[in-house]
Amino acid sequence: MYYIDPHIHMVSRVTDDYERMARMGCVAMSEPAFWAGFDRGSVDGFRDYFRQLTEVEPKRAAAVGIQHFTWLCINAKEAENVELSREVIAMIPEFLDSPNVLGIGEIGLNKNTKNEAQIFWEHMELALKTEELILIHTPHLQDKYKGTRMIVDMLLDDPRIKPERTLIDHVEEHTVKLAKEHGFWCAMTLYPITKCTPSRAADIIEMYGDDRIMVNSAGDWGPSEPLAVPDFVQEMRRRGHSEKKISKIVYENPLEFFSQCKRFEFKAPE
Amino acid sequence: MSEPLTADQIFDRVFLETRAKLLAVAATLDRLDRAEGTDRVRNDFRMEQLRKSIDIIQNSSNDRAEQLQIVFSDPYDEQWKRPGLRT
Ligand SMILES: [Zn+2]
């Protein structure tokens, strides 16, 4: 089965991972900008990172026949440096004509602080002004419920936000409803220990349906599994779900969401 | 069209795995009791979260996973101060 991993940080993965993903049927991926594991010191550090996301990774992916897309922002973990965050937000438009950019992301909250909320809100303004799609990171563990509620509050406060052009990521049992009941897209992240497992993701699909939802590995430099989406496919098959239903979640849904980006051009496999 | 699994089929598949997970929890709690300083852990708020979770697992609602998630979550305050225009 062909699949798309809509959230994976390939700058942190080796070429073997690209190779293994291609072998498992991955035909496209999208890579949100994120925290590098350390706070970057200057706007030029981000400029170089955005070049990596728009120039280097598409080539590495193409070498194994995968199409690479990306999202730009400064991560919530770095939002405490408000001045640098504003410089990065002002610089992002330099890259918005790159053909593989899908929008602004992954913006969001991490520890639910005042500065994080402010910088989230300023990213949201940029996305609205430039008519870009929005990909939203929700916090982990004990911060997730509160942070997701705060994010949904900010989105609903602004009547210009179109829920169908906005994706709330890393939803779990207690936050999936918040995204779905207001018409946002959402995604489940299959990540060892701190997030969802393939089996709980399949449970959530069984309870909430397969519309406007997708699954991703969020593979990065931490303990993660770049082949998590095929693990989910396997779990769904074992439970007797149809190939059509599985393909909707791991292939058609990401395409439907991404297709709203004016630059998005996808070459479907023959 | 493929058929969803029945409860018997699911139970046969998950029984051993679930048994193993419960054993791991029981053995972990025993290990904590054996160790020096177990009283401190007993009063740790996270232990209270685990106790609440074990209670929830035993109730018969159909949203136990969601209830557990809330046990481990910080409270949300509707009145939080929203960001506004830059001044
Ligand atoms: Zn991420």
Q: What is the mean pLDDT of residues A133-149?
A: 97
Chain A CB contacts of B1 under 8 Å are 242
B4 found inside a domain? no
Say which residues have a Cβ less than 8 Å from residue A252's Cβ, sequence separation at least 6.
none
**Could you read off the pLDDT of A149-169 as tens digits, one per residue?**
999 999 999 999 999 999 999
Ligand 1: distance of its center to the CA of A137 in Å? 7
d(CA A165, CA A82): 26
Other CB atoms within 10 Å distance of the CB of residue B16 = 9
Q: In this structure, are residues A228 and A198 in contact, taking their beta carbons and an 8 Å threshold?
A: yes
What interface predicted TM-score (ipTM) does this complex get? 0.91
Chain A CB contacts of B7 under 8 Å are none
**Could you read off the pLDDT of A167-206 as tens digits, one per residue?**
999 999 999 999 999 999 999 999 877 779 999 999 999 9
Task: Enumerate residue ranges in chain B where pLDDT < 50.
Answer: 86-87
B80 found inside a domain? no
Proportion of chain B in helix, strand, coil states, percent, rounded to 5: 65, 0, 35
CA closest to B69 among chain A residues = A174
- pLDDT at position B85, please? 56
B64 found inside a domain? yes
Structural domain total, chain B? 1
Helix axes A114-130, A144-157, angle to 10 degrees: 40
- What is the pLDDT of chain A when averaged over all its residues? 97
B32 found inside a domain? yes
Chain B CB contacts of A117 under 8 Å are 82-83
Query: Residue B45 belongs to what domain range?
Result: 9-71
Contact A117 B82 (CB under 8 A): yes
d(CA A266, CA A6): 13
The Cα of B53 is separated from the nearest Cα of chain A by a number of Å equal to: 14
B78 found inside a domain? no
List the one residue out of A168, A163, A165 whose CA is nearest residue A151: A168
Q: What is the mean pLDDT of residues A236-260?
A: 97
Reduced 3-state DSSP string for A196-265: ECHHHHHHHHHHHCCCCEEEECCCCCCCCCCCHHHHHHHHHHHCCCCHHHHHHHHHHHHHHHHCCCCCCC
Put simply, whether B46 touches A (Cβ < 8 Å) is: no
List the one residue out of A141, A140, A166 whose CA is nearest residue A154: A166
B42 found inside a domain? yes
Bridge partners, residue B4, by sequence? none
B28 found inside a domain? yes
Judge whether residue A262 has pLDDT over 50. Answer: yes
Put simply, whether A194 touches B (Cβ < 8 Å) is: no
Quote the pTM value: 0.95
Token pair of A81 as six digits: 């440096």
- What structural domains does chain A harbor? 3-258 (3.20.20.140)
Token pair of A48 as six digits: 């170089």
Residue A70 three-state SS:
strand
Put simply, whether B59 touches A (Cβ < 8 Å) is: no
List the one residue out of A239, A207, A252, A247 whose CA is nearest residue B2: A239
- pLDDT at position B87, please? 43
Bridge partners, residue A216, by sequence? A189
Mutate to test the interface with B, among A114, A142, A210, A241 (most CBs of B within 10 A): A142
B3 found inside a domain? no
Number of helices (H), then strands (E), belonging to chain A: the values are 11, 8
Ligand 1: distance of its center to the CA of A194 in Å? 13
Q: How far is CA A167 from CA A12, A107, A163, B57, in A?
A: 23, 11, 8, 31
Ligand 1: distance of its center to the CA of B56 in Å? 31
Mutate to test the interface with A, among B49, B74, B77 (most CBs of A within 10 A): B74
d(CA B33, CA A2): 50
